[in-house]
Structure 1
Amino acid sequence: MCVKDLYETGRNILQKTEDVPLLFLRVILAYTFFGPAMLKLNDIESTAGYFEYLGIPLPLLNAYMAAGTELVGAVLLGLGLLTRFISIPLLFIMIIAIATVHGANGFNVIMPGDAFTWESPYINGAEIPHTVVVLQNGYEMVMYYMAMLMVLVSKGAGRLSLDFLIFKKA
C-alpha cells in the first residue's frame, strides 16, 4: 500500500466522523450560554442595573434581550436547530461583551503568572511557594466563543442535528 492509498483510506475514515466535532462544539457552546442566561434571568433587575452602569441604553430591555437570546441560543445549539441563524445574534452579543465589559481588561482572562505571587510559609508542615490565580476578565474567552460560533455559521450544525433531520442539510 503506497502513501497515497493510505492517505485516502485515512481521509475516508475521518470523513465519516466529521460531524462529531460540530456536535461537541454545539454542546460546549450551549452549556456556555445557558449558565449566564439563567444568571441574568434569575436576577434581571440586577442585570439591568449592571447594564445601566456599563452605559448600555434601555438596560432592562437589553437585559431581557441578552438573556433571552442566550437562553434560546443554548437550547437551539444543543438541539442543532436553526444553528446558523442563532449563531449570528450570539456573535453580536459577544461583540457587545468585548466592547462593554472585557475589552478594557486586555486579552488575558487570567493575569500572567509572574504578575502576582504569594508566598505561604507552610502547608501541611512543608514550606511551599504558591502562585495566586488572579482573574483579569479579558476578552480571550469571548474570542474563543466567537471563533466557535463562526465555525457554526460557516459549516452549520452537521449531520448530528435537527437541522439535518428537518432540512436534509448539514
Structure 2
Amino acid sequence: MFARVKDVTLLLGRIGVAVVFLAHGLQKWDNGIQGTAGFFGKMGIPLPEVAAVFAMTVEILGSIAFIVGFALPLVAIGYVVVSVGALLSVHIDNGLTGQGGYELVFVLALAGLALGFNGGRISLDHLLFWSKRERRELQPA
C-alpha cells in the first residue's frame, strides 16, 4: 500500500515540476528562438541562440518526457543547467526572496533533480529499464 502511495506522489511531483518548466518553455516558444536569444543576449548569456534552443528543448520536450517518466536523470540535469543559468543571469541580484528572487528557481532545480533520480514505478524508465533489471535480480542463480 505504501509503495503505491509513494509512486503516485512521485508522479504528482514530476507533473508539478514539469508543468512549471513547460509553462516557461512555452513562453520562450511564443517569443521564438530569435526573441528568446535576444533576451538571453541582453542578460549576458554566452551563445544566446544555442542557449535559447537548449532551454526551449529542455523546458518543452524535457517536461513532456519528465511527466511520462522517460530519461528522468537526463531531464533532471537539464533542469538544473537551465535553472542555474536563470539564477545566475536573472535572479541572483534580487536575493532569495521577494520580487524576482531565486527561491522558485532554486526549489524547482532541486526538486527536479531529486525526482529525476527517483521517479518512482509509474514511469517509462521503470517500465523499460528497472523492471527488467529487478526481474533478473530476483531469478535464482
Task: Check whether TM > 0.5.
Answer: yes
- Greater RCO, CA 8 A, separation 6+: 2
Which blocks of at least 5 consecutive residues in structure 2 are unaligned?
Answer: 135-141
Amino acid at match of 1:60: E
Q: What is the percentage of aligned positions where both structures have the same residue?
A: 31
2:74 equivalent in structure 1 = 85
Amino acid at match of 1:22: L
Q: Which has the higher Rg, Structure 1 or Structure 2?
A: 1
Instruction: Pick the aligned partner of 1:22 from 3, 10, 24.
Output: 10
1:32 equivalent in structure 2 = 20
CA distance in 1, matches of 2:57, 2:3: 36
1:4 equivalent in structure 2 = none
Q: Can you list the C-alpha shifts for 1:47-89, whole angstroms capped at 9, x where unaligned?
A: 1111111011221221111111111111111111111121111
- 2:46 equivalent to 1:51: no
Bigger fraction of residues in strand:
1
Structure 1 moving runs of 4+ over 3 Å:
none
1:100 equivalent in structure 2 = 89
CA distance in 1, matches of 2:15, 2:111: 11
Number of aligned pairs? 131
When normalised by structure 1's length, the TM-score is 0.71
SS of 1:17 mapped into structure 2: helix
Which blocks of at least 5 consecutive residues in structure 1 are unaligned?
Answer: 1-12, 112-135
Amino acid at match of 2:124: L
When normalised by structure 2's length, the TM-score is 0.85
SS of 1:86 mapped into structure 2: helix
